[in-house]
Amino acid sequence: MSQILIVYASKYGTARRYATELANRLNSPVLDYRKVTDTDSYDTVVYVGAIYAGVIMGLGQTLKKAPKLFKKRVFVLSVGLVDPADPENVRQIRSYLEELSDPVLFEKMKIYHLSGAYTHSGLSLKHRLMMWFVYNQLKKKPREELTPSMQTLVLSYGSRVDHVDFQALDKIVSDLREITV
């Protein structure tokens, strides 16, 4: 199997959990995105990033620091609280990735979406305030006007939710093994 590097960006630990599990399954090194300097010795880079307000944490900085990624096989795994199967979420994430990356890289990218976790008490003050604001805005809307993502935010506000599903990595591991043999 060719060399695979797992890179992650995680504010509260969920993306790191997925990256570590993936690295263990593939017997691959795993690095925090802030420690990536180059990717020359790897054929494939898997980027596991937490997603906040439609932006995959650290991906833009990583692409700038490691421009040779454009010549690699790149897998991008977004990790978020909202439903990874929701077509609107998928469309928004793909649109973000298309804007962020070179068209050649975007065409080669394999994109996956994973369910995350949320612990209100563990959020930074800034993020608690942002969540409070969003929650109060959404509470004012009639339930039938809320998208599934909005409903998830309302229902999970103030609590602890963990939708981490390591079985979702099975397909990704299979795809990686298939193209890196």
Alpha carbon distance 61, 48 (integer Å): 14
In the prediction, which pLDDT does 1 show? 45
Least confident stretch, 63-72, 73-82, 106-115, 141-150:
63-72
Cα-Cα-Cα-Cα dihedral sign, residues 91, 70, 13, 128? negative
Task: State the Cα–Cα distance between residues 81 and 150, nearest whole angstrom.
Answer: 11
With a cut of 50, say whether residue 156 has pLDDT above it.
Answer: yes
Asked whether residue 71 carries a pLDDT value surpassing 80, the answer given is no
| Residue 45 near residue 69, CB atoms below 8 Å | yes
Give percent of the chain with pLDDT exceeding 70.
95
What pLDDT was estimated at residue 69? 67
Tens of pLDDT, residue by residue over 13-56, are 899 999 999 999 999 999 999 998 878 888 899 999 998 777 88
Q: What is the pTM of this model?
A: 0.84
